[in-house]
Structure 1
């Protein structure tokens, strides 16, 4: 197998566990780890973990949910349902969702460009319609542009990844590079984005407190702190700024809800950017 590799420095956010620990521990408490690009590389090498765990999720959050997740993605990226398009998936990981996307692109005659670390990409199947580019985004944006060609990218997907880019680097660089890749009429979906403001609203509600009691198994309310800046996390203000950034670059920008029934729909949002 071969794929393009872009080398260079990768920003680190300071992991509670060293990469060696992430790579070798038989059990990793994913809720306590501040992951970044290098952290995911280490998780990908950990053969003790399930494929979902290597991508940062407990099995209970993703197993059996991938088809519903892909359906929600298809409803927001219409190019996936057309024929012969150029599709990019930034940070696909190595679990079931990118495998479903690979098959969908095969059926519809798309070219699919996968962008992730070498450790993740080697765990995904090779196919004639799949091109793999190893490296962090947007550092590899030029390689993606060269691979897509003059036609540009019809749909770019970045699912459950934007929050790590927010910590690792300049989030505006991600948006700018994405917009630069899109073909006229092309869409970019930053999906499954944790929104600290939405989470706060949910857990401040009666429904949120019931959810917490059912999830925790304890008959006690969750203590919620309002007006907490919550540094290092995406909130309403960050999403609004990203929408405005896209609009000022001549694109449409939207914050969209996830489909009801998805595992984290009550506290995550999708960000859609569309070239007119």
Structure 2
């Protein structure tokens, strides 16, 4: 069952889907000025997941922006099995745009509505969770359930993670403040000063604070104990939020 945080987190996307605001960079949680950077994001995803060697992909929280278009079209063109999971309002829009024998759309709020899918025998070479994990209040449980669908030898990329501690480390530096001022097109003296990352975390209530260093460490330790290789990866500099976000790659060994 969704809690209030989760219900509130998806409201903007429900409204955009109802208004048919498909294909916009903003519909994927990025800013309008980042339009066009999906090409860099897609290249980064392909490299980290080694998609050229993959026959099947599960995209959890696919969305309906330009990145979703690239991923779905890639699966169709390259004849790779693609399963795309998102809230009903998003999936209904995608179904009006794409239809192919190797493409499947699943609707619901993962993992709460995914019992039948999770219990099915189908597994994937690749699983993508891009800029999604901060919309849940139980990120570790989300990742653990998703990993059930990974084949032995498969790769799962949890990407664009807005680690609040990482963001705080960056924005409490002079370089971070200058970057923020330039990005937001505001004077430097309007950018808050934080004494350290803990000060940033304390003073910013609009962050999902369960997405933090502790979560990253828990994923590393526990999934390695489960038999996965786990890597924390930086984002390329040409990605929209590379200064404040990071990725995790899971590789299932057995």
Fold-level similarity (TM above 0.5): yes
2:162 aligns with: 194
- Tell me, yes or no, if the aligned pair for 1:212 and 1:222 is still in contact at 8 Å: no
Q: How many pairs are equivalent? A: 241
Displacement, 1:255?
A: 1.3
Q: Distance in 2 between matches of 1:211 and 1:190?
A: 25
Q: Distance in 1 between matches of 2:116 and 2:156?
A: 18
Is residue 207 of structure 1 aligned with residue 175 of structure 2?
Answer: yes
1:237 aligns with: 214
Displacement, 1:274?
A: 1.0
2:68 aligns with: 98
Q: Distance in 1 between matches of 2:82 and 2:6?
A: 33
Match of 1:122, SS?
Answer: helix
Q: Distance in 1 between matches of 2:234 and 2:70?
A: 22
Classify 1:48/1:71 alpha carbon distance in 2 versus 1 (closer, same or farther; 3 Å). closer
Classify 1:111/1:172 alpha carbon distance in 2 versus 1 (closer, same or farther; 3 Å). same
Match of 2:143, SS?
Answer: helix
Equivalent of 1:268 in 237, 245, 252? 245
Equivalent of 1:222 in 180, 192, 197? 192
Classify 1:101/1:148 alpha carbon distance in 2 versus 1 (closer, same or farther; 3 Å). farther
Displacement, 1:14?
A: 7.7
Is residue 75 of structure 1 aligned with residue 44 of structure 2?
Answer: no
Q: Distance in 1 between matches of 2:86 and 2:21?
A: 21
2:93 aligns with: 123
Deviations 1:218-244 (A, max 9, x none): 132531153245573212121111222
- Tell me, yes or no, if the aligned pair for 1:43 and 1:55 is still in contact at 8 Å: no
Q: Distance in 1 between matches of 2:70 and 2:49?
A: 15
Q: Distance in 2 between matches of 1:109 and 1:242?
A: 32
Displacement, 1:171?
A: 2.2
Displacement, 1:56?
A: 2.8
Displacement, 1:191?
A: 0.7
- Tell me, yes or no, if the aligned pair for 1:37 and 1:136 is still in contact at 8 Å: no
TM alignment of 1:25-44, pairs within 5 A: 35-44=8-17
Equivalent of 1:157 in 124, 128, 133? 128
RMSD: 2.3
Gaps of 5+ in 1: 1-8, 16-34
Displacement, 1:126?
A: 2.4
Match of 1:191, SS?
Answer: strand
- Tell me, yes or no, if the aligned pair for 2:126 and 2:150 is still in contact at 8 Å: yes
